[in-house]
Amino acid sequence: MKKGIFLSLEGPDGSGKSTQIKYILDFFESRGYETVLTREPGGTSIGEKIRDVILDNENSEMDPMTETMLYAASRAQHVAQVIRPALEAGKVVICDRFVDSSIAYQGFGRDLGDCVAYINEYAIMGCVPDITFLMKLAPEEGIGRIGSGEKDRLESEEISFHRKVYEGYEYLERTYPDRIIGIDASRGIEEIKAEIQKQLEKLIEKK
């Protein structure tokens, strides 16, 4: 039985997820909650190895279905080993990307469609976030923020790919309005932080 709070952050690469996650962590810790901060792909030692395979620029021949299944494999391990036990112990789990990333990047970006959600049903077995913050920022801007540093295999994709991913996120926001909260991520860091904190206050009031 799930007792904790499961929160995920989503959005294009460079949209400010890692920046805001630190404030979200502070929010819960300063109120005495036990927290687990984690990310996908990764979050377990098996998952981190899978992450290296997926993001390696040398793996340019990777088939989209292989990519989907690797993300799902990393997720299955993550749910079983980290997320579900933490939630059962009443902790707050804060996850940088989760299943919505697969639907946006593989379902929409790679044009694989509905099979991505089906495959992931087996990976998560009902473990769905209570709340998801979607950092809404034009993909061009996110990529611009990352700058000219070394890009991984997904970040190196054409802008047309990232636009399709963004359409996927907009679809998800429309489809799951009770869970997914869209955040205008083009604003300053402090303004975004204040809006997220307001939403978190509401969440803990309801719990």
Side chain identity at 30, as an amino acid letter? S
Please, what is the Cα angle at 116 between 140 and 83, to 5 degrees? Answer: 90
Structure-block tokens of residue 160: 């047309």
Q: Please give the backbone phi and psi of residue 197, each rounded to the nearest 5 degrees, phi first.
A: -65, -40
CA 155 – CA 164 distance, rounded (Å): 13
Q: CB–CB of 137/162 below 8 Å?
A: no
* CA 65/CA 144 separation, integer angstroms: 28
Q: Which of residues 29-48 bind ligand ADP (CB under 6 A)?
A: none
Binding-site partner at residue 154 among ligand TYD, ligand ADP, none, CB < 5 to 8 Å by type: ligand TYD
Single residue of 4, 7, 8, 17 touching ligand ADP by CB under 6 A: 17
- Mask for 130-159, x = binds ligand TYD (CB under 6 A): ------------------------xx----
Q: Which stretch binds ligand TYD (CB under 6 A): 1-9, 12-20, 172-180, 191-199?
A: 12-20
Residue nearest to ligand TYD (CB): 105
How far the first Cα of the chain sits from its last, in Å, is 15
Q: Closest separation between CB of residue 171 and ligand ADP, Å?
A: 19
Q: Which does 110 bind (CB under 5 to 8 A by kind): ligand TYD, ligand ADP, none?
A: none
Which of 22/202 has CB closer to ligand TYD? Answer: 22
Q: How far is the CB of 207 from ligand ADP (least distance, A)?
A: 26
CB-based contacts of 191: which residues, under 8 Å, 6+ apart? none
Q: Say if residues 108 and 164 touch (Cβ distance below 8 Å).
A: yes
Say which residues have a Cβ less than 8 Å from residue 131's Cβ, sequence separation at least 6.
5, 6, 7, 8, 179, 181, 199, 203
18 binds ligand ADP (CB under 6 A): yes
Task: By CB under 6 A, tell whether 97 contacts ligand TYD.
Answer: yes
Residues that bind ligand TYD (CB under 6 A): 13, 17-18, 39-41, 55, 71, 97, 101-102, 105-106, 154-155
Residues that bind ligand ADP (CB under 6 A): 11, 13-19, 145, 188-189, 192
